[in-house]
Amino acid sequence: MKNPVSFTDVLEAADELSPEEQEMVVEILHRRVIEGRRQEIAKDIREARQEYRKGRCRVVSPADLKKEIMS
């Protein structure tokens, strides 16, 4: 198992990088966050499709949905 690196250690290590390397790190992390979100959305879609196939979904109007949320 890997030893976890603290947030402070990461920031201090980033301070040792050149400005160009820091920009590259920011870009790489941004892309990883986007990819992680994309994977979460894909997982949610798969789960929703399974629920739909199992008949666990029902059609509701926007007004009914609003009432349900507000109650």
Here the tokens at position 16 are: 């040792």
| Residue with more model confidence, 20 or 1 | 20
pLDDT of residue 3: 80
Residue type, 56: R
Handedness of CA 65, 70, 39, 47 (dihedral sign): negative
Residue corresponding to tokens 């894909």? 42
Which residues fall within 8 angstroms of residue 4, CB to CB, at 6 or more apart?
none
Give 8-65 pLDDT, tens digit per residue: 999 999 999 999 999 999 999 999 999 999 999 999 999 999 999 999 988 889 999 9
